[in-house]
Structure 1
Amino acid sequence: MFSYEQRPKIKQLMSNYHFDVLVIGGGITGAGIALDAASRGLSVALVEMQDFSEGTSSRSTKLVHGGLRYLKNLEVNVVAEVGREREIVYENGVHITTPEHMLLPLYKKGTYGPLATSVALKVYDRLAGVKKEERRTMLTKKQTLALEPLLKEKDIRGGGYYVEYRTDDARLTIEVLKKAVEYQALCLNYAKATEFMYDKKNKVTGAQIQDMLHGDTFDITATQVINATGPWVDAVRNKDVVDNNKQLRLTKGVHIVIDQAVFPLHQAVYFDTPDGRMVFAIPRDGKAYVGTTDTFYDKDPKNPVATAEDVTYLLHTIHDMFPDVQVTAKDVESTWAGVRPLIYEKGKDPSEISRKDEIWLSKNGLMTIAGGKLTGYRQMAEDIVDRVVKLHKFKHAQQCVTKHLTLSGANGLNSKNFMQYVENKAKEGEALGISYERAKNIVSTYGTNVDDVFMYLRALRHEESELPKCLQAKLLYAINHEMVYTPADFFIRRTGMLYFAINKVERYKKAVIGVMNKMIKYRPDELAQYTAQLDAAIDAAKHPQ
């Protein structure tokens, strides 16, 4: 039930049954709610007007943060909660979350001093329950420069060395959704909630849904409708009633990607910028990506893009911290931009904009969850489903189980056995005619779902194709098991290739579109539309405005 072929059946089931919960929004927050509710035994429908995770949930810094920066404002409870959640997210999805040692270089007149940093990291380790082998280490100047020789030497005093967790945000969302589907949740992308339905007491009883691919509409009824639409929270609330004085304030964050041949970054670094902010530089798959900016954004949240000004700002931060790295705008291979939905209360100072999550219940019964961070998605889902269960006295609802519920692709895996699993499984891939290293990469990406990917690889062994066999196997898996419908779904949100291998996207886009057209049987207007959509995405990533 998570394939483009199942769309008609999913729509029919959605319109024929009454659900305990209808979730509007298929980013990480909505996905988490669907999984939490479905795993408790509630009936769940989820709709997303774009592709799953197409908004903020595929455009982050791709880190499951530990909340270190909250210590500066003495937000002790936040640090403790975020730290605990980070560990849960990792253990439940070891194939999509990886420990990443982070270097925090310390400079004279920098944001962090050696003593304050040492104390902060030690407190952080304690609050967040950091494993012994991942606790902070304080480094001398010599040790810091040995870890990352590109750092500027002037005024450096040493460094802090601690662990963050790197993830693929879009794939994390997809794996959460696939697990929700295992628990019988019905999830549909390209399905927009256009208006709410009400009973005689003016309580929300469901929503009218438009299939954005084919134009038809259908109704979904539910005991509780949840608005989890991220940057579109206010737009969805405005279809009902807004009865509090809070609203979203969007900020835009931009990242740039540079080949390591030009920017040979060894080590992930969290560093000061000349204007007093903090920025990440992270090596990944032969590239180095740097971000993020933080500017207010009042345009359409659907297609935020990097501007030349954003790129110049990030290049300036690189030149300041890594003075021997001679990168220019021409070296930027790809960019991405996302918007953060922050909560602003009318009448308060703009500086009081909150990054925390909040739950609002309208007088008509629409429940909205706003704000929050990727790291806290599971806890946010638990909180809102607890509230739904209590509000409606769902006696058939079980207790929350997601603390120890492995995601799709992580069945039986954990941090202790994952690498052994990868090494063993990679030998199977090698037997199918691909290199051991490539096989390891595939296993690391798909976890226990790799058997399906290998099944397609096996079937393709003797076929002639313009596409590399591995790429074609991933494509077939994405179409049949991950609800992919457009080439952009595949290249951006199922593989991340548009960001980290954009030259391969350009090389293979025609062949990929050919395979998809053959399988999905696009209408002529769809084929033209989706080809143009991918071309526009490539252009936006390569050529900041």
Structure 2
Amino acid sequence: MKKFSYMDRNRVLSGIEGDEYDVIIIGGGITGTGIALDCTTRGLKTLLVEMQDFAAGTSSRSTKLIHGGLRYLKQFEVKMVADVGKERAIVYENAPHVTHPEWMLLPIYKKGTFGKYSTSIGLQVYDFLAGVKRREKRKMLSRDETLKKEPLLKKEGLLGGGYYVEYRTDDARLTIEVAKKAVEKGADLLSYTEMEEFLYTSDARLSGVYIKDMLTGNRFRVNGKKIVNASGPWVEKIIGMDRKIDGKSLLHTKGVHIVIDGAKFPLRQPIYFDTPDGRMVFAIPRSGKAYVGTTDTVFEDELQHPQVTVKDKEYLLKCIEFMFPAASVGLDDIESTWSGVRPLIHEAGKGPSEISRKDEVWISETGLITIAGGKLTGYRKMAETVTNLLCKELRNVGMQSGSSITKDLKLSGGEFNNPKKLPNFITSKAREITSLGISIEDATNIAALYGTNTDVIVNLANEVLKETGLPLSITLTLHYAIKHEMILTPVDYFMRRTGTIFFDINWVETWKLSVIDYMAQFMEWTQERKEELTEELELRILEAKA
């Protein structure tokens, strides 16, 4: 079985020029990895290339919810709400360790966007479209019941609340679990590998790509029957590299989130509320913190590391002040931030918040297949749509492939017969892990985060490097990330495998040097490489704090 590690990466690169792939996918976010998984499970020889780390773009910078898009009912996007609503349950069934049902509160105010009656009907329609289970169907709360759920809410004009289920997730970890399953099923996935140039046949049809290893500078020619552009905010750049420039126009919008310690902003209950300017904002408690977002502004700057401005932060602080007037928080209380760029299909006359989040697929004259738009929640369905198209095109040249199986395919770490077994699994595994001398709190966190991969982590105890200066709980998860989750830099570990840059930045400050030392020793970095990656981590920490 292939391993999802830097060692396997070198193996793939060493033989890549002698292969011809059925499908080459450009982009390693949730859409690209989802397509890779669907393709490889249908028997297609699949390669995915990503110029950064997996999930480094939009797929690690969302609101971290698998949600059905309640606000899209207001835009009459009924089919999209129905599709992604049903997909929530599929993601939960296949990856319960990274997808958790969570009751969301929608407060209702006099002169607010949502009235009592319209909210009740809207949530009822939402439940119907999404095929919500009986036990998770919406409830309407009185004013007192609403305040009991969240005492920090603004009391003036409060009429009550709608109470309904959404699903909380870790977007980056979901992407990684999809990627790991794709590799397990036979796909080749390469991070820090940039597509530099397209290859063409004599009749101007795509036949492959030139890729560049960003770590060594080496260039490789790779042949492929079909090319998929799933590069998110970069899709227009990739289209522009094709000989025939045709397709949709994209509008990039920026979404910002801020994180505040729970001691300063003691939010009890996830809240979805409308703002005075007509936007909808989430406030979510998580791991002793609370995060608030998102903004929705047109973005025209550098895509790789979108910056959070003081204006962005002040907007979200005003949102907090508006809905939670008793919570006195200011700029100095913001511990960390993140910013993501959404690639939306441009619609004339519509502002950022009005543009549909639906996905679209189109094919250029050279055969380049591009997918853009869409939501995290609908990644699997988007992948199925693209793979259906690929299979149809490949059948025209004599290839056969089966139907999609991803609807019932458990993701890496999510191999439970019933998601309800997860809590007992976590309790049982945590007790086992404590036998290694790990605290029950850390053991519980490991079992909860890694699900059915927990035993793999525990079995690494005999091979990890000793005398690292790190607690064993960190050493194990770091070693696992190196050997089984393709981390190549400290930022990969802190930002996208653990999420601690966003939600526990003080923890990052405490252990960053020891983590760097461990990676440098195990991966045999030169001193120059170690210094370069240390500087990169410090820059990402500064950005999160900025």
TM, length-normalised to structure 2? 0.97
Match of 1:273 among 272, 275, 283: 275
Kindly indicate whether residue 541 of structure 2 is the aligned counterpart of residue 538 of structure 1. yes
* Alignment-derived partner of residue 2 in structure 1: 4
Match of 1:382 among 381, 384, 403: 384
Q: Is the 8 A contact 2:416 2:422 kept in 1?
A: no
* Alignment-derived partner of residue 206 in structure 1: 208
- Alpha-carbon separation, structure 1, partners of 2:337 and 2:69: 25
Show the 5 A alignment for 1:313-462. Answer: 313-344=315-346, 348-351=348-351, 353-393=355-395, 395-457=399-461
* Alignment-derived partner of residue 113 in structure 1: 115
Going from structure 1 to structure 2, the CA distance change for 1:60 and 1:524 (only over 3 Å counts) comes to same
Give, in angstroms, the shift of residue 357 of structure 1. Answer: 0.7
* Alignment-derived partner of residue 506 in structure 2: 503
AA paired with 1:513? I
Kindly indicate whether residue 486 of structure 2 is the aligned counterpart of residue 483 of structure 1. yes
Post-superposition CA distance 1:104-152 (Å, at most 9, x none): 0100111111100000111111111001111100000000000000001
Give, in angstroms, the shift of residue 349 of structure 1. Answer: 2.4
Q: Is the 8 A contact 2:239 2:245 kept in 1?
A: no
Kindly indicate whether residue 474 of structure 2 is the aligned counterpart of residue 471 of structure 1. yes
- Alpha-carbon separation, structure 2, partners of 1:246 and 1:7: 34
Going from structure 1 to structure 2, the CA distance change for 1:382 and 1:343 (only over 3 Å counts) comes to same
Give, in angstroms, the shift of residue 287 of structure 1. Answer: 0.5
Give, in angstroms, the shift of residue 244 of structure 1. Answer: 3.5
- Alpha-carbon separation, structure 1, partners of 2:64 and 2:418: 20
Give, in angstroms, the shift of residue 95 of structure 1. Answer: 0.6
- Alpha-carbon separation, structure 2, partners of 1:97 and 1:321: 27
Give, in angstroms, the shift of residue 416 of structure 1. Answer: 2.3
Give, in angstroms, the shift of residue 523 of structure 1. Answer: 2.5
- Alpha-carbon separation, structure 2, partners of 1:354 and 1:317: 23
Give, in angstroms, the shift of residue 427 of structure 1. Answer: 1.5
AA paired with 2:437? G
Going from structure 1 to structure 2, the CA distance change for 1:249 and 1:5 (only over 3 Å counts) comes to same
- Alpha-carbon separation, structure 2, partners of 1:477 and 1:529: 23
Show the 5 A alignment for 1:137-216. Answer: 137-216=139-218
Q: 3-state SS of the aligned residue for 2:419? A: coil
Show the 5 A alignment for 1:185-334. Answer: 185-244=187-246, 246-334=248-336
* Alignment-derived partner of residue 492 in structure 1: 495
- Alpha-carbon separation, structure 2, partners of 1:340 and 1:80: 21
Give, in angstroms, the shift of residue 413 of structure 1. Answer: 4.2
AA paired with 2:35? I
Q: Is the 8 A contact 1:196 1:240 kept in 2?
A: yes
Question: Any gaps of 5 or more consecutive residues in structure 2?
Answer: none
Q: Is the 8 A contact 2:66 2:169 kept in 1?
A: yes
Post-superposition CA distance 1:335-361 (Å, at most 9, x none): 00000000115xx32447442111110
* Alignment-derived partner of residue 516 in structure 1: 519
Give, in angstroms, the shift of residue 101 of structure 1. Answer: 0.8
- Alpha-carbon separation, structure 2, partners of 1:413 and 1:259: 36
Q: 3-state SS of the aligned residue for 2:507? A: helix
Post-superposition CA distance 1:438-481 (Å, at most 9, x none): 22221111011111211234656x94432121111110000111
- Alpha-carbon separation, structure 1, partners of 2:58 and 2:70: 22
Match of 2:59 among 42, 57, 60: 57
Post-superposition CA distance 1:387-422 (Å, at most 9, x none): 111112064311100000000111234322222222
- Alpha-carbon separation, structure 2, partners of 1:231 and 1:9: 30
TM, length-normalised to structure 1? 0.97
AA paired with 2:323? M
Post-superposition CA distance 1:231-269 (Å, at most 9, x none): 000000111045435221100000000010100000000
AA paired with 2:221? D
Q: Is the 8 A contact 1:92 1:414 kept in 2?
A: no
Question: Any gaps of 5 or more consecutive residues in structure 1?
Answer: none
* Alignment-derived partner of residue 80 in structure 1: 82
Q: Is the 8 A contact 1:234 1:248 kept in 2?
A: yes
Q: Is the 8 A contact 1:94 1:413 kept in 2?
A: no
- Alpha-carbon separation, structure 2, partners of 1:242 and 1:480: 41
Q: 3-state SS of the aligned residue for 1:528? A: helix
- Alpha-carbon separation, structure 1, partners of 2:15 and 2:176: 21
Post-superposition CA distance 1:66-90 (Å, at most 9, x none): 1211211222211111111111111
Match of 1:27 among 7, 26, 29: 29
- Alpha-carbon separation, structure 2, partners of 1:456 and 1:259: 33
Post-superposition CA distance 1:9-63 (Å, at most 9, x none): 1112322211110001000000000000001111100100001110000000000
Q: Is the 8 A contact 1:432 1:458 kept in 2?
A: no
Q: 3-state SS of the aligned residue for 1:224? A: strand
- Alpha-carbon separation, structure 1, partners of 2:533 and 2:417: 37
Q: Is the 8 A contact 2:394 2:400 kept in 1?
A: no
Q: Is the 8 A contact 1:498 1:538 kept in 2?
A: yes
- Alpha-carbon separation, structure 1, partners of 2:269 and 2:170: 18
AA paired with 1:508? W
- Alpha-carbon separation, structure 2, partners of 1:282 and 1:387: 38
- Alpha-carbon separation, structure 1, partners of 2:460 and 2:238: 40
Choose 432-441 or 328-337, whichever is displaced more: 432-441
Match of 1:101 among 100, 103, 109: 103
Choose 526-535 or 142-151, whichever is displaced more: 526-535
- Alpha-carbon separation, structure 2, partners of 1:319 and 1:353: 27
Choose 390-399 or 248-257, whichever is displaced more: 390-399
Number of aligned residue pairs: 540
Post-superposition CA distance 1:497-541 (Å, at most 9, x none): 000010011111111100011011122332121111110100011
AA paired with 2:531? A
AA paired with 1:521? E
- Alpha-carbon separation, structure 2, partners of 1:395 and 1:220: 20
- Alpha-carbon separation, structure 2, partners of 1:458 and 1:13: 32
Post-superposition CA distance 1:268-324 (Å, at most 9, x none): 000121212110000101100000011100011101021111111111111111111
- Alpha-carbon separation, structure 2, partners of 1:426 and 1:245: 51
Instruction: Note the aligned Cα RMSD (angstroms).
Output: 1.4
- Alpha-carbon separation, structure 2, partners of 1:392 and 1:459: 45
Choose 389-398 or 294-303, whichever is displaced more: 389-398
- Alpha-carbon separation, structure 2, partners of 1:135 and 1:436: 35
